Structure 1
Amino acid sequence: MSNIESAPTLRDAAPTLAGAAAIARASRTRLMLEAPIASTLAKLAAPNVLAMFVQAAQSISEAYFASLLGITALAGLALVFPSVMLTQMLSAGAIGGAISASVARALGGADVARGASLTVAAWIIAVGFAALMAVLVVLFGTQFFSLLGGEAETVAAATTYALIFFPGCVAIWLCNASLSVIRGTGNMQMPAIVLLMVSIISIPLSGGLALGWGPLPALGMVGLPLGVVLAFALGAWVAMGYIVSGRTGLSFRGAFGRLDAGMFSDILSVGALASINTVLTTLTIIMMTGLVGRYGEGALAGYGLGARLEFLMIPVIFGIGAAMTAMVGANIGAGRTDRALRVAWTGSLAAAAIVGSIGLLVALFPDLWLGMFLDPSDTAALDAGRSYFRLVAPFYAFFGLGLALYFASQGAGRMIWPVISSLSRMAVALVLALILTTYTGMGVEGIFAAIGCAMLAYGLIIALAIWRGGWRKKTP
């Protein structure tokens, strides 16, 4: 009799788990809709910010490992780094943010079944983007790095890195897509834990595979991306398993059958514009890299370190931005535009303050950063890096403001002004750099001055547009 009586308990275990997860998910959505904005945003953002700082440490360590391989490896990393960051920004920010916002809007509108089907669509989209990027880099990577002005050995180092990273980037795409789904349910802790795990594993693994620590082979440039890809593969497995097990409160029974073109459109209509914004941001860095490359390997290495810190501001802002995307999305889905705007301004001004403080610090003391990677004998690289921080870092606050409002705009599903601001940034950077280097004799410092002015334009344009009511207009 006891065995017969215990059977229903075993069968009911999974539904009980799913029911508890659903209750927790509904509670998180209610929190985003009703709780005080500043404290709720801080609570949601804190795990992300911590995880992003650890991810920043991973990027710093990669540059350090490359510096141990030599100045050519460091310059090669500068050539490939914008493309690598494009992958991270698309998968976690542009497309990832669109995924998070779509799920949050579905849950804000109390459509849980749609949230599950959007998750399946997100995984399909992630695999498609990863395959496209891998094919493009394999076919055209070497030619692209050559166009940026790198010398033969520098281009070879960049190509070696790219031919490992990009075929393996499907792991990064699936991991970030899955974490975006989890954030869309209002759960910021689990994504933070997974990213912490990925970073903690990738740092010693990349260094060990590059430099030959312990029993690991010394693979040189190959080891740097290999460690990152393997760590993200583990992260993808954990995140996808967490979702499929029902711990997000989403039920996947019939989710695949409910897929339709509208769900892909829901993600891609926002993600496409967000991706344009991301591509423009990266293209700006790539163009500046090409211009700096004309001044030699030392200048390229110094600028690469400066641009790396600039890119590292993106994960820091993302820590706050991911929370804003979910909160704004949930409030827009519930028809509460005024509250969504208050969330946007609260988070964006906080991001600007944090990033602006970092910018002022490195503007005053650039060797705090440069000294971690360069010897005093690397005078050309040091001079370029110091000039970069002196002229660009004071404008980091505007970069932080604009990028944070970009994440908030994803939640609102309104991406026109972020794209316009990025187009303006690219135009100001390129045109002003060409003018200053051609007619003033400023050399590489003219390029850096143009980058700083472009950040100013970027932040002001999107802020003024949203302040004047951009979200209330009938834009995509």
Structure 2
Amino acid sequence: MSAYPFLRMDRETKAIRSRDRASEIMISGSIWRAVWYIAWPTAINTIIQTAYMNINPMFLGHLGKNAEIALAATSIGRTVLMVQFSVLFGISVGAGALVSRFLGAEVYDDADEAARQSMWLSIVVGIVTMLPLIFYAEPLVKLMGAEGSVVPTAARYVAIISYSSIPAFLSMIIVSVLRSAGDVMRPLYAGVITTGLVAILDYVFIFGVGPIPRMEVVGSAISTNIARFLGMLLMIWFLKSSVLRGSLDHFRPHFGWFKRIMRVGIPAAVQNLLFTTSGAGFMMVIGRVPNPSAAQAALGVGMALESLAFMPGSAYAMAAAPLVGQNLGAGQPDRAERSAWAAAWQSAALMGLIAVWFLVIPERLAGIFFGGDSVVSSAAVVPLVVTYLRLNAISEPFLAIGMTIRGALQGAGDVIVPTFITFLTLWVVRLPLAWLLAVVLGYGATGAWIAMSVSTILSGLLAVAWFKTGNWRGVEV
């Protein structure tokens, strides 16, 4: 027992009030207020996470003559790692759907159990997926289209960063279940701390400071590992003081719950795996255009910049999921639907506004990633980045609506048809069209960018069409 029981009681009382207030806001009162309550801290956290993702390429872009190889290597390496995270994504979707539904229905013990078992699953998946990346990094990056001097650099990056898979996975699951409970501030605090930490560590390990030598790409992987381990400890500490702190009690695996989580999680994982493997396929197409290393570097920089537009879309998608889940748990499907649409339109407005900057000042945005002795690299890469931004700016509003509606469907546990839509738009449309335009017809990287924009527009339209059928209302989790 605590030596200060009154402090323990106060901490528990605050947790219960936080849970009740978050659920009350999500299932009653103004829908726009409910959306904003979840979305704004999530949006800020997404900005922080975007900064986290961009720190590495921004530092690596200032490595002078080594910048192009470093950016291409980490771009390919991150594509490989995204395949790994697609499996975890399924667990987070399954856990989020269950936790939000149970909290909406006020079945709190089951909410704790769903969170507990999702953490166990993340540990298991972390071990299983980490080993192939460590031992087969080189053939994997070659499969992604890496060639020449990019291969050993990308392979080292993947192998080193894979050692922190379990901390990264566990942190991601904790963030997901907290958000499903309406607790959006703790993930925000963690994001601020870890991003500041990785910025400092990146500078030290990439460029070398004092007794620490200059390690460039290897240094960026080491700094990420350190930040992931410390971030995991921070998230566990936050979970212990949250409304789901009971999930840390009796921490034992329960295979019946594994099955329940993965009933939603497997289709969601397949959906995300389709997305990430299509990214790998897209990288392979880029590897067949003239000056492939410049095109691969441009794709990495372009995606990093486009993540600025992803921020509101991602935030509103993550807001839509618990809003829909908790309202379905509370027996309010109409309010769940209105919440999803409110989130989607707000997201489209903000992403469309950001896309305007991609049309107006793409050269300036691309130039952020190059400096010092990187003139040769920037001359080859920047024009490709500019074209990327302008073509994808057209599809940003469709991307926003599609992302948010998919988030709403995930909150409902409806992932089968969205998985088929993902397969159709990426594997039937994007990749064949990219190959046709970029390689067969000779449009190079620009042809691939066109295919990306077209498939994004189609994906958003199909997601809206499915959501309007209302079939998601009756999905059981």
Where does residue 263 of structure 1 map in the other structure?
A: 257
The aligned runs of 1:84-103 (5 Å cut-off) are 84-87=81-84, 91=88, 93-103=89-99
Where does residue 46 of structure 1 map in the other structure?
A: 40
Q: Distance in 2 between matches of 1:86 and 1:323?
A: 24
SS of residue matched to 1:23: helix
The answer to whether residue 186 in structure 2 is matched with residue 185 in structure 1 is no
Offset at residue 35 of structure 1 (A): 2.5
Where does residue 345 of structure 2 map in the other structure?
A: 349
Q: Is the 8 A contact 1:116 1:255 kept in 2?
A: no
Deviates more, 1:340-349 or 1:304-313: 304-313
* TM-score, normalised with respect to structure 1: 0.91
Offset at residue 301 of structure 1 (A): 1.4
Where does residue 110 of structure 1 map in the other structure?
A: 106
Offset at residue 135 of structure 1 (A): 1.4
The answer to whether residue 470 in structure 2 is matched with residue 469 in structure 1 is yes
SS of residue matched to 1:235: helix
The aligned runs of 1:314-393 (5 Å cut-off) are 314-374=310-370, 375-377=374-376, 378-393=378-393
Offset at residue 443 of structure 1 (A): 2.6
- Change in 2 beyond 3 A, CA 1:442/1:335: same
Where does residue 153 of structure 2 map in the other structure?
A: 157
The answer to whether residue 243 in structure 2 is matched with residue 248 in structure 1 is yes
- Change in 2 beyond 3 A, CA 1:14/1:166: same
Q: Is the 8 A contact 1:421 1:459 kept in 2?
A: no
Q: Is the 8 A contact 2:328 2:473 kept in 1?
A: no
1:198 to 194, 197, 203: 194
Q: Distance in 1 between matches of 2:214 and 2:439?
A: 44
Offset at residue 238 of structure 1 (A): 1.9
Deviates more, 1:389-398 or 1:161-170: 389-398
Q: Is the 8 A contact 2:137 2:156 kept in 1?
A: no
Where does residue 286 of structure 1 map in the other structure?
A: 280
Q: Is the 8 A contact 1:116 1:251 kept in 2?
A: yes
Q: Could you list the per-position Cα deviations for residues 362-414 of structure 1 after superposition, in whole angstroms to 9, with x for gaps in the alignment?
A: 13322122111235533321232222223223112212221221211111111
- Change in 2 beyond 3 A, CA 1:99/1:114: same
Number of residues of Structure 1 aligned to a counterpart in Structure 2: 467
Q: Is the 8 A contact 2:285 2:439 kept in 1?
A: no
Which consecutive unaligned segments of at least 5 residues does structure 2 have?
Answer: none
- Change in 2 beyond 3 A, CA 1:290/1:242: same
Q: Distance in 2 between matches of 1:385 and 1:223?
A: 26
Q: Distance in 2 between matches of 1:473 and 1:34?
A: 21
Deviates more, 1:211-220 or 1:130-139: 211-220
The aligned runs of 1:432-471 (5 Å cut-off) are 432-437=433-438, 439-471=440-472
Q: Is the 8 A contact 2:323 2:411 kept in 1?
A: yes
SS of residue matched to 1:169: helix
Q: Distance in 2 between matches of 1:157 and 1:312?
A: 27
- Tell me the amino acid that sits aligned with residue 224 of structure 2: V
Q: Is the 8 A contact 2:87 2:125 kept in 1?
A: no
The answer to whether residue 71 in structure 2 is matched with residue 74 in structure 1 is yes
Q: Distance in 2 between matches of 1:280 and 1:363?
A: 29
Deviates more, 1:147-156 or 1:452-461: 147-156
* RMSD of aligned residue pairs (Cα, Å): 2.4
Q: Could you list the per-position Cα deviations for residues 7-32 of structure 1 after superposition, in whole angstroms to 9, with x for gaps in the alignment?
A: 99844543453244223212221221
SS of residue matched to 2:395: helix
Deviates more, 1:225-234 or 1:168-177: 225-234
- Change in 2 beyond 3 A, CA 1:365/1:312: closer
SS of residue matched to 1:442: coil
Where does residue 203 of structure 2 map in the other structure?
A: 207
- Change in 2 beyond 3 A, CA 1:462/1:104: same
- Change in 2 beyond 3 A, CA 1:312/1:13: same
- Change in 2 beyond 3 A, CA 1:292/1:475: farther
Where does residue 303 of structure 2 map in the other structure?
A: 307
The aligned runs of 1:417-428 (5 Å cut-off) are 417-426=417-426, 427-428=428-429
- Change in 2 beyond 3 A, CA 1:450/1:475: farther
Offset at residue 359 of structure 1 (A): 2.5
- Change in 2 beyond 3 A, CA 1:89/1:47: farther
Q: Is the 8 A contact 1:202 1:231 kept in 2?
A: yes
Q: Could you list the per-position Cα deviations for residues 123-177 of structure 1 after superposition, in whole angstroms to 9, with x for gaps in the alignment?
A: 1111112112211212332112112332221011111111111121211111111
Where does residue 17 of structure 2 map in the other structure?
A: 23
- Change in 2 beyond 3 A, CA 1:373/1:306: same
SS of residue matched to 2:61: helix
- Tell me the amino acid that sits aligned with residue 269 of structure 2: S
Where does residue 142 of structure 2 map in the other structure?
A: 146
Offset at residue 438 of structure 1 (A): 5.2
Q: Distance in 2 between matches of 1:63 and 1:466?
A: 37
Deviates more, 1:314-323 or 1:460-469: 314-323
The answer to whether residue 55 in structure 2 is matched with residue 61 in structure 1 is yes
Where does residue 408 of structure 2 map in the other structure?
A: 408
Where does residue 399 of structure 1 map in the other structure?
A: 399
Where does residue 124 of structure 1 map in the other structure?
A: 120
Offset at residue 214 of structure 1 (A): 4.4
Q: Distance in 2 between matches of 1:208 and 1:449?
A: 39
Q: Is the 8 A contact 1:101 1:329 kept in 2?
A: yes
Instruction: Give the fraction of aligned pairs with identical amino acids, expressed as a percent.
Output: 24
- Tell me the amino acid that sits aligned with residue 405 of structure 2: L
The answer to whether residue 130 in structure 2 is matched with residue 134 in structure 1 is yes
1:275 to 266, 269, 275: 269
Which consecutive unaligned segments of at least 5 residues does structure 1 have?
Answer: 1-6
Q: Could you list the per-position Cα deviations for residues 164-208 of structure 1 after superposition, in whole angstroms to 9, with x for gaps in the alignment?
A: 111212111111111222212211111111111111111121221
- Change in 2 beyond 3 A, CA 1:367/1:87: farther
- Change in 2 beyond 3 A, CA 1:368/1:16: same
Deviates more, 1:334-343 or 1:369-378: 369-378
- Tell me the amino acid that sits aligned with residue 142 of structure 1: E
Q: Distance in 2 between matches of 1:17 and 1:317?
A: 34
SS of residue matched to 1:251: helix
Q: Distance in 2 between matches of 1:232 and 1:158?
A: 20
